[in-house]
Amino acid sequence: MKLLSIAVPCYNSQDYMRHCIDALLTGGDEVEILIVDDGSKDNTAAIADEYQAAHPDIVRAIHQENGGHGAAVMAGVRAATGAYFKVVDSDDWLDEAAFAKVLATLRGFVNSQPTVDLLISNFIYDKVGAAHKKVMKYGNALPQNRPLTWDEVGKLHRGQYILMHSVIYRTQVLRDCGLDLPRHTFYVDNLFVYVPMPYVRTLYYLDVDLYHYYIGREGQSVQEQTMIRRIDQQIRVNQLMIEQVDLPRVEPARLRQYMYNYLEIITTVSSVLMLRGGTPELLAKKQALWQWIEQKDAGLYKQLRYGLMGRVMNLPGSAGRGFAVLCYKISQKLFGFN
């Protein structure tokens, strides 16, 4: 068994995937790199095969028909032989020194009791043109360098979320939770982080800046206009988060509150993107999303709709919509997200 399996979803990634994979190779033969070629039309498949030929004990090339990011991640989960599992997108990369510390920490988990289900580390918003690269850290809420239960986790403030870039799950947790990401859908990284959380009994925070999250490539899925064009996929993920986790039953209460906060920000992002688009069609879709939530879970709807962000996102009239968008722009500046 490998210590860590890393899935690298690739679609037409020939121009940047080498940087990503070369950084992962520094982990040596304890690491399994699963390059998932998701039906690419450029030289991605050939580059994946090249790495497999050069590093047959570390790299596996997986070729499949195009199914989208979620299908590529699930191919990685199915193929993984590592005790732990991480996703690294092909335009992102890991810091080599931090990676070595992470592997040393994971090595200590393998025979530990209790078993650590989730390792959390920091990530960097590596935004093109930004003089200051924002680092997402968790030390204010997560005691460092020891296994924790959720009851020991402090309060994560607004804007401070555990994202795909932050997490390394024990592989069996991903299988036990029944994770099944939808095909041909962007933004499934939210489901990847959210759905397994109730199955995490122990977690561990390592304060290293591991993941470089690259923002600024032309046509990137997280660019605002791209997200507005793909709003149906954002809405689908938002709804699946509600359908796939019975939030009122999540225990302990501290984890349930964190997951509620995460769902709240995803619903806010969905709403504000439709407000930013501003067309009658998009405004109707926003109203339909909130109606769907009310019909699905009246109690959850009440929490979301009458919380601070829900009230702002549903202010009436053009002036109300303008105020909601202004709040969103201020949040972009404060938290550095796209």
**Given CA atoms 235, 168, 244, 36 in this order, what sign does their dihedral have?**
positive
Nearest alpha-carbon partner for 188 in 150, 228, 251, 237 = 237
Q: What is the pTM of this model?
A: 0.93
Give dist(CA 175, CA 186) in Å, integer.
21
Q: Are 191 and 263 in contact (CB under 8 A)?
A: no
pLDDT in tens, 214-252: 987 565 556 788 899 999 999 999 999 999 999 999 999
pLDDT digits (tens, 9 = 90+) for 245-278: 999 999 999 999 999 999 999 999 999 999 999 9
The tens digit of pLDDT for each residue in 1-55 reads 899 999 999 999 999 999 999 999 999 999 999 999 999 999 999 999 999 999 9
Residues 6+ apart with CB under 8 A from 107: 3, 30
pLDDT confidence of residue 112: 81
On the question of pLDDT at 211 being above 60, the answer is yes
Q: Average per-residue pLDDT in the chain?
A: 93
pLDDT at 337 over 70: no
d(CA 48, CA 55): 11
Distance of alpha carbon 165 from alpha carbon 122, whole angstroms: 8
pLDDT of residue 1: 85
- The mean pLDDT of 48-66, rounded to a whole number, is 98
How much is the pLDDT for 246? 95
Shortest CA distance to 142 belongs to which of 206, 93, 91? 206
Q: How many other CB atoms are found less than 10 A from the CB of residue 338?
A: 15
Tokens of 240: 């699946």
